[in-house]
Structure formats: structure tokens, C-alpha cells
Amino acid sequence: MFRVHIVNKFNKDRYADQLEQQFRLRHEIYIGERGWTDIARADGREIDQFDNDDAIYLLGITSAGEVVGGSRLVPSLKPHLMSEVFPNLAPGGVPRGKGIYEWTRIFVAPALRTPSRPALAAGLIYCGIQEYCVQSQIENLSIVCETYWIDRLASLGWKPRLLGPVFTHQGSDLVALITDTNTSALNATRSFYGIEEPVLQDLSGQQVISECRDTEQKSAVPRR
């Protein structure tokens, strides 16, 4: 169906077209379908303050170069959605550490969704996230999400834990979660979707990503 590509500040120039596709598809989904009109843009691209050089994108890209799914990770030691916009969701403190990344902006193109059963396209993105985290020694993901994600992630073996109470925001019930990323969660996700092979296109960027994480650690914001 597609492979999941890792796109970061070191290789983003090679993926300029795919990044543009991603932002436009996110706008179609988050503003057009979900009604997040407060972040609508006249240029038809959904971009926020966390789409910067700290962001790591995992993009589902077909052999024809079309983006059909994706997601975003941001180091918890840098400004991110939970720390800057929704710290109230984690009254005990926003989780921070070099092994914790925030996960946001999961999406799948409408044509690849299967309403009557779990979509394989979503499973490929989930597996790509887990594969990348295992390879990069990322141990946990922090998430701001709707409450229905708790059961969904639990069914995949990610062991979601609440960081605080439910908060109603613009008609949605939001929570802050932290989940596991490890081989157990990866294997459970593969089993759930019947995925037998790795989905990441290329892990050759691991060295530069490791160097990036070392730099982030030196400039880390203390855990609060």
C-alpha cells in the first residue's frame, strides 16, 4: 500500500513536495472534516507553531510520491502542544525527558479509510511510529487527544495512562496521556492489523537523529 518515510530537518529539502501535500491534507481533514475553524488558513495549509525544525514527520507515501497518511513527533524537551497550549491537562507536570516525544496530527486520507473495520492505512502509520521510537530509543509518547483514544490505544498494546482529568475544549472532551513505545507495543500493533513486515522506508537517518537528540539533551528544559 505505502511505506512510512521519516522526514526531519536533515532531509526535509528532499521531501518538499510531500511536506506541502501533508499540510494541505491536514487542512482538508482537520478544518474541512473536523471543523477546527480556529486554525483555518487562507492558503489551505494546516500548520501550527510546532511545525518547525524540531518536528519529525512520519509520512505514508505511495510509490507515486503521494502522501496518504502521516503523523508528527516533537521532543518533549522542546516547546510542544501539551507544554505550551494544554499544560492544564497534566496538573502533576508535563512529562519531559530525552526518551519522551509528543505525538500529534495523525491522519489518513479519506480514500484509505474503512469505516466498518480498522483501516490498514492507520495501522501502517501506527507501526511506523512504534518502529521509529524503538529504533530511536524513545520510550514514551505524550498525547493530547479526545477520550476515545484511550480505548483505541489500549487495544493496540500501548498502555495509555491518564495525566489528568477530562477537559472540554470547543465541544471535544480532551485528555493528556502518556503511552509506551517498545517492541511489545510494536508487536501488538502489528498483530492487531495483520502487518508482518517493517513499514519504515529508510532508517539511514538514525545517526543524525541521535546527534540531534544529544544536542537537545544539552539544551534541555528541566522536567516540571
Please choose, from the candidates 53, 60, 215, 46, the residue with its C-alpha nearest in 3D space to the C-alpha of residue 129.
60
User: 144 and 174 in contact (C-beta within 8 Å)?
Assistant: yes
Split at pLDDT 50, 70, 90, the class of 35 is confident
Q: In Å, what is the CA distance from 204 to each residue of 6, 135, 201?
A: 10, 11, 9
CATH number of the domain within which 69 lies: 3.40.630.30
Is residue 154 assigned to a domain?
A: yes
Over the stretch 45-81, which tens digit does the pLDDT of each residue have? 999 999 999 999 999 999 999 999 999 999 999 999 9
Is residue 222 assigned to a domain?
A: no
Is residue 204 assigned to a domain?
A: yes
User: 85 and 109 in contact (C-beta within 8 Å)?
Assistant: no
Q: In Å, what is the CA distance from 41 to each residue of 26, 72, 109, 130, 162?
A: 11, 19, 20, 31, 32
Q: Is the model's pLDDT at 159 over the cut of 50?
A: yes
- Cα–Cα dist 67/19, whole Å: 8
User: What average pLDDT score do residues 158-167 get?
Assistant: 98
* Domain that residue 65 falls in: 3-213
Is residue 179 assigned to a domain?
A: yes
Is residue 93 assigned to a domain?
A: yes
Is residue 205 assigned to a domain?
A: yes
Cell of 160: 495509555
Split at pLDDT 50, 70, 90, the class of 40 is confident
Split at pLDDT 50, 70, 90, the class of 216 is very low
pLDDT at 170: 84
Is residue 224 assigned to a domain?
A: no
Over the stretch 110-154, which tens digit does the pLDDT of each residue have? 999 998 888 999 999 999 999 999 999 999 999 999 999 999 999
Return left, alpha or beta for 55; rule: phi > 0 is left, psi -120 to 50 is alpha, else beta: beta
Q: What is the mean pLDDT of the chain?
A: 90
User: What average pLDDT score do residues 207-215 get?
Assistant: 39
pLDDT at 206: 42
Instruction: Domain count for the chain, please give it.
Output: 1
Is residue 223 assigned to a domain?
A: no
